[in-house]
Structure 1
Amino acid sequence: MADEASKKETVDTSSHVAEQMFSDIKSSLPDSVVPIWQSLESNPWLLAATVIAAGFIIAKIAQYVFKTVLGKVASKTKGTFDDHLFVILAKALYSVIFYISLLLAIEALQFSQSTDTFLKRFVVTLLILSLMMKLLKVTRLVLESFSQHKHRFKLIEERTIPILDITTKILIVGAGLYVLIMSWGVNPAAWLASAGIVGIAVGFAAKDTLANLFAGFFIVADSPYKLGDYIILDSGERGRVTHVGIRSTRLLTRDDVEVTIPNSVMGNAKIVNESGGPWEKTRIRINVGVSYDSDLEHVHDVLMEMAKENLDLCSSPEPRVRFRSFGTSSIDLQFMAWIEKPEQKGMISHRLVMTIHKLFKEKGIEIPYSKQDLYVKEWPSSPSGSD
């Protein structure tokens, strides 16, 4: 009984509102207009047309005033966000006033109860859909505006807009449909309970898909990498991030092969982001050894001079030469330098090895290698009687 009472109350809400507004309009009319109103009441269709025409004119005037007054305020601010926002709000104001006039026109026609209720529900449905579309445009506009201020809103940027846009659309459409169903006198509580049971079944059936979906949201929120970053996974994959989607992440490897990795794997993987940190630069290390007879200061100066003339290397931070240990047959050292792009690491390392080898030959610096001498202590004696 309580459900039926709440349903009936929901069904009659729009009718009660329209009747009350219609009554308030009649009671607030000036004395000079009352005779005209009474003459129009004798012809319901003419009264309904007059109400619709008046509602249209009032809606247009309100829209114009709203845009003009707030447009002057928007013209004094930087950017176009408020300009577009006020245009959408002005259209929403027009829709509300015009659809209210349609409800009043239906009330003036004095249809039967069933026809009156159906028409008012239909008009309320159109109003809800119109406002839903306006709200979707506003949220999209807000997300785009936030993404242009990356220093303030780090979570909302170009790569996160699609996911946030989908989320807001789901919430707005879901809330709008809930109100829409309620306006037609249907209690959606039972539907929601059924949807919960179905959701549990779907969750078990599509647990991998849902794991990728939630992992995608966590990746966006945690932001361990972004589009364009060069990353290395603990499984060995290395490449540039070309796409971060709801289900998967795509890497373009140095072989120009695109690898698609599920977000659930990315969420649990150890990721080395070579483009992370204060800049995108990355450091390369070239291991080399020189003989014990070499002048180490001379070796250091030769490598540093080579680094200054090499255009592939960054001047800031400066390249470095570090002698690491006394090896078996050489003094081991590392030449360390920074490069601009992580994906160029292999190519620049190749060039540096060739350059150092050539330069050491020209400067007379020996790069030792392991040598093994074989000493024969005694030749085996030849068998007796043989030559």
Structure 2
Amino acid sequence: MAPKPGGLSSLQDALTSLAKAAWWTSAALSLTGTVRAFIIFEHRPHEARLLQDLLVALIYVGAGLSIVAYAFGVPVGALIATSGVFAIILGLALQSTLNDLFSGIALNLGRPYAIGDWIVLKDGTEGRVIETNWRATHLIGGSNDLIILPTAAWRSSG
């Protein structure tokens, strides 16, 4: 292998890039550990978990872009512009799914009901809340029937 003008062979260059990528990865892991340890709301685990997940995702995206830019020397401006166009296309294709997801987040943050509450819907369905998550609310009916209400049902039935 002939050395490059900078004095590094292609193997040394590849190893240097991998070491930079490992450094960015370890920095991201350390930062996400710190976020998980110190971002806690008072007696509000759902809100704290959501904020933690959003910050961790932002850290990993930043670390990934930093690895691409600084470790491998690829310009990220075109990558960011292309990913923006791709995100718009994906958002339009998944519009109803994203609508359900954000409705579920709003239900969990707004807390209109809690586990153990009895809910009566407009159509006469009633039950006790046993679980809530971003996708659905689980109820136990009067005859011990499991009723699963998707988030989309809350938009239409109130």
Q: CA deviation at 1:211?
A: 0.7
Contact 1:212/1:248, CA 8 A, preserved across alignment? no
Contact 1:219/1:267 (8 A) holds in 2: no
Q: Comparing both chains, which one has the higher relative contact order based on Cα–Cα distances under 8 Å and sequence gaps of 6 or more?
A: 2
Matched, 1:176 2:72: no
**In structure 2, what is the Cα distance between the partners aligned to 1:230 and 1:168?**
34
Over 3 Å counting, the alpha-carbon distance change for 1:160 and 1:205 in structure 2 is same
**TM-score (structure 1 length as normaliser):** 0.35
1:198 aligns with 2:94: no
1:139 and 1:168 in contact (8 A); partners too: yes
- Provide Cα deviations, 1:295-319, integer angstroms capped at 9, x if missing partner: xxxxxxxxxxxxxxxxxxxxxxxxx
Following superposition, the deviation at residue 265 of structure 1 comes to 2.8
Shift of 1:205: 2.4
Distance 2:116 2:76 in 1: 45
| 2:3 corresponds to | none
Distance in structure 2 (CA, Å) of the matches to 1:126 and 1:253: 53
Residue 128 (structure 2) aligns with: 240
Q: What is the TM-score when the length of structure 2 is the normalising length?
A: 0.78
Q: Does 1:220 align with 2:116?
A: no
Equivalents in 1 of 2:54, 2:24: separation in Å? 20
Unpaired segments ≥5 residues, structure 2: 1-5
- The structure whose Rg is larger is 1
Contact 2:108 2:133 in 1 (8 A): no
Specify the code of the residue in structure 1 equivalent to 2:24. I
Query: What secondary structure, in the 3-state scheme, does the structure 2 residue paired with 1:242 have?
Result: strand
Query: 1:187-225: per-residue Cα shift (whole Å, max 9, x none)?
Result: 222222222222222223222211111111212232212
Shift in Å, 1:135? 1.7
> What's the Cα RMSD here?
2.5
Which residue in 1 is equivalent to 2:32?
136
Cα distance in 2 for residues equivalent to 1:169 and 1:239? 36
Q: Distance in 2 between matches of 1:227 and 1:163?
A: 19
- Give CA deviations for 1:103-138 in whole Å, capped at 9, x if unaligned: xxxxxxx96264444333222211111121122222
User: Which residue in the other structure is 1:207 paired with?
Assistant: 95
- Deviation digits for residues 215-246 of structure 1 (CA, Å, limit 9, x no counterpart): 11212232212333322222322222222222
The letter of the residue matching 1:170 is A
Aligned partner of 1:254 in structure 2 is 142
Task: Give the distance between the partners of 1:240 and 1:256, measured in 2 at CA.
Answer: 10
Going from structure 1 to structure 2, the CA distance change for 1:227 and 1:135 (only over 3 Å counts) comes to farther
User: Matched residue of 2:22: which SS?
Assistant: helix
**Structure 1 vs Structure 2: percent identity of aligned residues?**
24
Question: How big is each residue's C-alpha offset from its partner over 1:250-302, in whole Å with a ceiling of 9 and x where there is no partner?
Answer: 222222222222223324543xxxxxxxxxxxxxxxxxxxxxxxxxxxxxxxx
Distance 1:198 1:229, change over 3 A: same
Match in the other structure for 1:189: 77
Matched with 1:303 is none
* Cα distance in structure 1, aligned partners of 2:132 and 2:100: 12
Pick closer, same or farther for the CA change 1:207–1:170 going to 2, 3 Å: same
Secondary structure of the residue aligned to 2:91 is helix
Deviation digits for residues 67-112 of structure 1 (CA, Å, limit 9, x no counterpart): xxxxxxxxxxxxxxxxxxxxxxxxxxxxxxxxxxxxxxxxxxx962
- Matched AA of 2:55: T
Task: Give the residue type in structure 1 aligned to 2:53.
Answer: I
What's the counterpart of residue 126 of structure 1?
22
**Structure 1 segments unaligned to the other structure (5+ residues):** 1-109, 151-155, 271-387
> Retained in 2: the 8 A contact 1:203–1:210?
yes
**Alignment partner of 2:86: what SS?**
helix
Q: Is the 8 A contact 1:250 1:258 kept in 2?
A: yes
